[in-house]
Amino acid sequence: MSDDGLEAFDSLSAGKRIDDDANYQWRVAARPVANVVPSDFRWTVTDIPEPRDGEVLLKTHYLGLAPVMRFYMQGTGAAGERALEPGDVIHGRGVAQIVKSRHPDWQEGEMVQGQLGWQTYKVSAMTAQEKFFKMPKNGLPAALGSGVLGMTGLSAHAGLFGCGDPVQGDRMLLSGAAGGVGSMVSQMAAHVVGCEVVGMAGGAEKCAFIRDHGCSQAIDYKSEDIEESLDALMPGGIDLYFDNVGGETLAACLDRLRMHSRIVLCGSISEYMREQPFGLVNYTRLRATESRMQGFFVYNHLHKWERVMDDLAGWIDDGRLQPVQDIEDGFQNMPRALANLYYGRNVGIQCCSVRGEPEHWN
């Protein structure tokens, strides 16, 4: 994909800035057809809302970006959130500080993460649907709450441990290894469990990156023949495949399973960019090898939140998990940061610094 599409976002950001005197928002202007384009977004400025009894006022510091956001905008309501209509503020989880509270359970000054939407302030009754959690006071940067210590971290942990049942020595294949979930899964699999991880990423730069983040071998899917590379790097086959892309890569993996292999279906970004959905013919290969293909969805794992965050923070502390977030600076650049995901440019978790670290939160 060329860069042209991404450069078109420069004029969308140009001249926009935020301040503390108003609520700045990005809304759906039109439903994206394929990848998002600048005209899909609308910038609005409103008054900062006032919380009523049982509500709080949240001030946004960081917002995370995820491929699923395009589905929200397309109105397909994927992944546990309400489908958006043109005119709606775009969904987005992130880190905020409570600047006013009329809610007994949430105190002024507390840092939280949850569903904020693409806006610089939000009034919320902190409903279950918004999935707010208090940020742990562990001295780590607040930015991590929009990714590594947020829903992306929970995804990576739930997918790898809750679904993949990794064992030391497993020969693991990981697609989307340079992405948000991928860059965490590779490090946890290699450094926490002791798997031998072969990662897939697009381009020499990303392949170098994933070799520094848990992958002992890298396959550049843009320049290599995936089947040939798998045969060369994993001649004995695959014990565990963590699938972030679906499609032909999944099919290639099904043809190379070892006995009792596990396939974790996490994402299928290749499907998002495809006009005709991919039909998986060789799913029957699960039979001869007694293998399983299992899906998971992060919102079904919320009950593990505290334990998972403790795990992740501990591994960051002891150096086994290096947090990788690709931070776009400035709320005005949110649309470009989202488009960036589909161009396969970002490394690690894509997020946006709306107004940087808060002065006090720990």
**Can you give the binding site for its own copies, defined by CB under 8 A?**
163, 246, 259, 265-266, 268, 271, 277-281, 283-297, 300
CA 299/CA 93 separation, integer angstroms: 13
Residue 9: CB minimum distance to its own copies, A: 29
The helix (H) or strand (E) run that includes residue 6 is helix 4-7
Identity of residue 198? V
Residue 285: CB minimum distance to its own copies, A: 8
Angle at 43 between CA 41 and CA 45, to 5 degrees: 155
What residue spans of 43-121 are helical by DSSP H? 69-74
The helix (H) or strand (E) run that includes residue 185 is helix 180-187
2 vs 284 by CB, closer to its own copies: 284
**Other CB atoms within 10 Å distance of the CB of residue 251:** 18
133 vs 296 by CB, closer to its own copies: 296
CA 232/CA 230 separation, integer angstroms: 5
Residue 295: CB minimum distance to its own copies, A: 3
Residue 303: CB minimum distance to its own copies, A: 13
Residue 263: CB minimum distance to its own copies, A: 9
Give 335: exposed, middle or buried? Use CB within 10 Å, 0-12, 13-18, 19+: buried
Give the residue among 215, 261, 199 at the shortest CA–CA distance from 236: 261
39 vs 294 by CB, closer to its own copies: 294
Residue 232: CB minimum distance to its own copies, A: 26
**Residue 108 to residues 25, 96, 105, 141, 162: CA-CA distances in angstroms?**
23, 11, 10, 19, 35
22 vs 78 by CB, closer to its own copies: 78
